[in-house]
Amino acid sequence: MPRRPIFAANWKMNKTAREAKLYCAEFSALGIDPSIADVVICPPFTALDSVRTSLPQTIGVGAQNSSNHLSGAFTGEISIGMVAETGCSHVIVGHSERRALFNESPALLSEKLDRVIECGLHAIFCVGETLADREANLTQQVLLSQLQGSLKPILSELSTRWTQLTIAYEPVWAIGTGKVATVDQAQDAHHFIRSTLSGLLGPQAGKGIRIQYGGSVKPDNVKELMAQPDIDGALVGGASLDPRSFYEIIKNGASQ
Ligand code: PEP
């Protein structure tokens, strides 16, 4: 069965709830056709509610993070139950900024993935190498350790619930830099991720799990990325902050 494209907007720490409402009105007015792709918007926590209530139900809403703990004395944290109650469908787990700036380890990310999947939501799990890793020929080694480190501890749960998992391959050197991986670099990494998923979860999951590319995706480069056999969508940072540009990415990418 062909994999349905999935495009997600990662707003990072941008837009207040009021600004988010204005964005959603503009984005909804563009009239994206829900049959062409899954579309998910991931605003900051404070805008989840206003984004959910401003968008049609055909568009998903995602959090950019959630706690590995279910409740308790964890000042400043947001639990998966709190996220779910806003009507969210997705959670981004393991974005490279969280790995690098907040020291999120593969073991911690495994716990976060577990909470998201257990709660019935969809996880967008980010993996990717730094420039130093790539230059030292360590790309596959890094991807393997990120995937194994976080997926292995929850294999039994994922074996029946892998449809709740999407992987985002985001080479760290391409995030917010304007440098896009070449289509060959992206396809090679996606192919490697897919074979690793097959090895961990079996061939059906390997074939079925969607893998998004992320890193300076724009309306004019998404088509060639989406033409690759193992690229199923995009996780978009900077270019998703403008509703028309995110709309163009979806339209151009899904028509490939
Ligand atoms: C991201 O942060 O997930 C991302 C892909 O950012 P950008 O599109 O700005 O490179």
| pLDDT tens-digit series, residues 14-29 | 999 999 999 999 999 9
Render the chain in DSSP notation, one character per residue: -PPPPEEEEE--S---HHHHHHHHHHHHHT---TTS-EEEEE--GGGHHHHHHHS-TTSEEEES---SSSSSS-TT---HHHHHHTT--EEEE--HHHHHHS---HHHHHHHHHHHHHTTPEEEEEE---HHHHHTT-HHHHHHHHHHHHHGGGHHHHHHHGGGEEEEE--GGGTTSSPPPPHHHHHHHHHHHHHHHHHHH-HHHHHHSEEEEESS--TTTHHHHHTSTT--EEEESGGGSSHHHHHHHHHHHHT-
Q: Is residue 70 part of a domain?
A: yes
Domain-embedded: residue 77 = yes
pLDDT value for 1: 75
Q: Does the C-beta of 243 come closer than 6 Å to ligand 1?
A: no
Which tens digits make up the pLDDT trace of 42-96? 999 999 999 999 999 999 999 999 999 999 999 999 999 999 999 999 999 999 9
Q: Is residue 66 part of a domain?
A: yes
170 is catalytic: yes
Per-residue model confidence (pLDDT) at position 178: 84
Q: Which atom of ligand 1 is nearest to the CA of 10?
A: 3
pLDDT digits 0-9 by tens, 34-55: 999 999 999 999 999 999 999 9
Q: 155 lies in a domain?
A: yes
pLDDT score, position 180: 81
Would you say residue 195 lies in a domain?
yes
Stated pTM of the model? 0.97
Residue 176 pLDDT: 85
176 vs 140, residue with greater confidence:
140
Q: What is the pLDDT of residue 255?
A: 87
Residues of the domain holding 243: 6-254
Q: How far apart are CA 94 and CA 64, in angstroms?
A: 9
Q: How many domains does the chain have?
A: 1
234 close to ligand 1 (CB < 6 Angstrom): no
Ligand 1, atom 4: closest residue by C-alpha: 237
Task: Give pLDDT tens digits for 117-163.
Answer: 999 999 999 999 999 999 999 999 999 999 999 999 999 999 999 99
Rounded to whole angstroms, the Cα distance separating 135 from 139 reads 8
- The verdict on residue 1 lying in a domain is no
The predicted structure's pLDDT at residue 64: 98
Q: What is the CATH number of the domain that holds 164?
A: 3.20.20.70
At 198-228, the pLDDT tens digits run 999 999 999 999 999 999 999 999 999 999 9
Give domain status of residue 148, yes or no. yes
Closest-lying ligand 1 atom to the alpha carbon of residue 216: 10
Cα–Cα distance between 28 and 16 in angstroms, integer? Answer: 18
pLDDT tens readout for residues 177-187:
888 889 999 99
Give the residue, by CA position, lying nearest to ligand 1 atom 2.
Answer: 237
For ligand 1, the distance from its centroid to the CA atom of residue 71, given in whole angstroms, is 30
Nearest CA, atom 6, ligand 1: 237
Decide if pLDDT at 256 tops 80.
no
Residue 135 is among the residues annotated as catalytic for this protein: no
Q: Is the CB of 62 under 6 A from ligand 1?
A: no
Largest interatomic CA distance in the chain: 48
Residue 78 lies in a domain: yes
Q: What is the structure's pLDDT at 115?
A: 98
